[in-house]
A and B are shown apart, each in its own frame.
Chain A
Amino acid sequence: EPEVTQTPSHQVTQMGQEVILRCVPISNHLYFYWYRQILGQKVEFLVSFYNNEISEKSEIFDDQFSVERPDGSNFTLKIRSTKLEDSAMYFCASRRDTQYFGPGTRLTVL
């Protein structure tokens, strides 16, 4: 069964550093998403991406965040200057009809 993959599984970084989280969506899916989940809290929508552009973003997704689909398979989330409060689990998802989630990247900002 095809699945969404994410790398790395855990990323530790210093405050102020840039991080790039990587995702490989399911190959015939058309819509791509990033969500985050701070420990003990609910899953929150960050951004959706379709046809090589952002289709919607939440208020969390400020100028420090960007997304890119640099080739036909990868979908990346970049955080330019990480803050302590960016520490969370970041989930990538893709869908044709139903959204399927990747296993997540745990980001720890020190």
Chain B
Amino acid sequence: RKEVEQDPGPFNVPEGATVAFNCTYSNSASQSFFWYRQDCRKEPKLLMSVYSSGNEDGRFTAQLNRASQYISLLIRDSKLSDSATYLCVVSYGGSQGNLIFGKGTKLSVKP
């Protein structure tokens, strides 16, 4: 049973394109949701938290559908520097806050 599932990609898009990533999670007890970004052989870095009402940070928009256990990330006007692997991450909450990672979706933005 995969707890967090993502399309592995790769997504190859031209600069300026809009790209959307989807993620599903299996545990309905999940309480916190995140998108992390990971560059090759580097550590995961928090891109944004995901809230039930949806949230936006510049060119990035995240959505959460608790009923469907589905999370999305939309990147508008993609830049070369957006090339990375995008990790969907959930946490069951509580004081420990352990993170459960998806395998990631690889994005390659081409000039």
What residues make up the interface of A, taking CB atoms closer than 8 Å to B? 31, 33, 35, 41-45, 48, 50, 55-56, 89, 91, 93, 95, 98-104, 106
- In the complex, the answer to whether B43 meets A104 with C-beta atoms within 8 Å is yes
Which chain A residues border B41 with CB–CB below 8 Å? Answer: 89, 106
User: For the complex, is B96 an interface residue (Cβ under 8 Å from A)?
Assistant: yes
Q: Which of B76-110 touch A at CB < 8 Å?
A: 87, 95-104
- In the complex, the answer to whether A102 meets B43 with C-beta atoms within 8 Å is yes
- In the complex, the answer to whether B44 meets A91 with C-beta atoms within 8 Å is yes
What residues make up the interface of B, taking CB atoms closer than 8 Å to A? 38, 41-46, 49, 87, 95-104
Which chain B residues border A35 with CB–CB below 8 Å? Answer: 99
- In the complex, the answer to whether B104 meets A42 with C-beta atoms within 8 Å is yes
26 contacts between A and B (CB under 8 A): A31-B96, A33-B98, A33-B99, A42-B87, A42-B101, A42-B102, A42-B103, A43-B38, A43-B87, A43-B101, A45-B100, A48-B96, A48-B97, A48-B98, A50-B96, A55-B95, A91-B43, A91-B44, A95-B97, A99-B46, A100-B46, A101-B45, A102-B43, A103-B43, A104-B42, A106-B41
* Cα-based distance from A97 to B95 in the complex (angstroms): 10
What does DSSP make chain B's interface, helix, strand, loop or mixed? loop
Which chain A residues border B95 with CB–CB below 8 Å? Answer: 31, 50, 55
Query: Given contacts A42-B101, A50-B95, A103-B42, could you give 19 more A-B pairs where the C-beta distance is less than 8 Å?
Result: A31-B95, A31-B96, A33-B99, A35-B99, A43-B38, A43-B87, A43-B99, A43-B101, A45-B98, A45-B99, A48-B98, A93-B99, A95-B97, A98-B49, A101-B43, A101-B44, A101-B45, A104-B42, A104-B43
- In the complex, the answer to whether A31 meets B104 with C-beta atoms within 8 Å is no
CB distance from B46 to the nearest CB of A (A): 6
CB distance from B34 to the nearest CB of A (A): 9
| Residue in B96, B103, B104 whose beta carbon sits within 8 Å of that of A55 in the complex | B96
A50-B95, A50-B96 are contacts. A98–B46 as well, Cβ < 8 Å? yes
